[in-house]
Amino acid sequence: MTLPTAESSGTYRLGDREVHRLGYGAMQLAGPHVMGPPADRDAAVAVLRRAVELGVDHVDTSDYYGPTVVNELIREALHPYPEGLVIVTKVGARRDADGGWPEALDAADLRRAVQENIDHLGVEALDVVNLRMPGFAEPVQRSLAEPFEALAAMQQEGLVRHLGVSNVTPQMFAEARAIAPVACVQNHYNLVHRADDPLIDALAREGIPYTPFFPLGGFTPLQSAALETVARRLETTPMQVALSWLLARSPNLLLIPGTSSVAHLEENVQAGARVLGPAELDELDRIGGTGGTGGPVVDL
């Protein structure tokens, strides 16, 4: 049987490139707690190469995964990079000896992070850099002007091609956009965590992609059981159903499911080819406790 490829998920513009909407998040290639090397380096390299074979042309990473481990794996597996591959990285934190993620948002920290990402990926400039603001899963309202201005200066120097923001409120996005063009937003969003519905719709009107993280995070046991029921009826996995729902939610959603397994990667890519009917979409919306997007309209 021929496996579907990422092309089945459709495309959307990210920066100055059209990418397949189903990409790959590389965080899980590091060791436990995103620290140190993977247990099987060859397997990690195989996952990256298989992702590209399956049409994935949007890889999400950061030099603080490992730290440095994941970017070095990407370079080993894929360099020289295929034409059209977009590597999105993020800055704004560092790793400490205890495996924590303290913020690193001053200009010197950000310049160091950008240069280290460049060096470890083996590129002359970074395709897209997301400014990751503090907060585990929910944004904390605060000014991002100083760090975003520092990144905008590096963009003017040619070190970064496009800028994005991560873990931000609509107000923080607007603040960033007033400083420099914002190519993408990466926030916590999934079938049951729908707080960003108005922001997603507003970004779609502007042609700006939105990348959700934690696609299966924060489900209650009842919600998980209901999702599993739908998955069994469709003879697939809960993860595939959740990813297919995200692809159906809005055309500007770009997905970056992560895995360290080739078999799991292939399952995730198949989600791009699955079309959910109106009945399934309505049932899945009810799992999330909503029959529609609801909420206030965000005006960007």
Average pLDDT over residues 53-63: 98
Instruction: Please state the rounded mean pLDDT for residues 14-18.
Output: 97
Rounded CA-CA distance 198/195 in Å is 8
Q: Which residues contact 192 (CB under 8 A, 6 or more apart)?
A: 218, 219, 220, 223, 287, 288, 289
Evaluate whether 114 touches 142 at the Cβ level (below 8 Å).
Answer: no
- From the list 29, 24, 14, the residue with the least C-alpha distance to 59 is 24
Q: Pick the closest to residue 250 from 298, 189, 295 (CA basis).
A: 189
* Chain-centroid distance, C-alpha 249: 16
What pTM did the predictor assign? 0.95
Over residues 69-78, the pLDDT tens digits come to: 999 999 999 9
Return d(Cα 101, Cα 293) in angstroms, integer: 33
Confidence of residue 2 (pLDDT cuts 50, 70, 90): confident
Mean pLDDT of the chain: 94
Q: Residue 179 has what pLDDT?
A: 98
Q: Which residues pair with 187 in a beta bridge?
A: 212
Tokens describing residue 2: 């021929």
In contact, 73 and 46? CB cutoff 8 Å:
no
Six-digit token string for 230: 């739908």
Report pLDDT digits (tens) over 223-261: 999 999 999 999 999 999 999 999 999 999 999 999 999
Averaged pLDDT, 141-151: 98
pLDDT confidence band for 298 (50 / 70 / 90): confident
Confidence band of 291 (pLDDT split at 50, 70, 90): very low
Is residue 292 pLDDT above 70, yes or no? no
H or E element in which residue 12 lies: strand 11-14
Quick one: pLDDT band at residue 1, thresholds 50, 70, 90?
low
Beta strand pairing status for 86-91 and 126-132? parallel
- Taking a C-beta distance cutoff of 8 angstroms, is the pair 129, 96 a contact? no
Active site residues: 65
Q: How far apart are CA 219 and CA 226, in angstroms?
A: 10
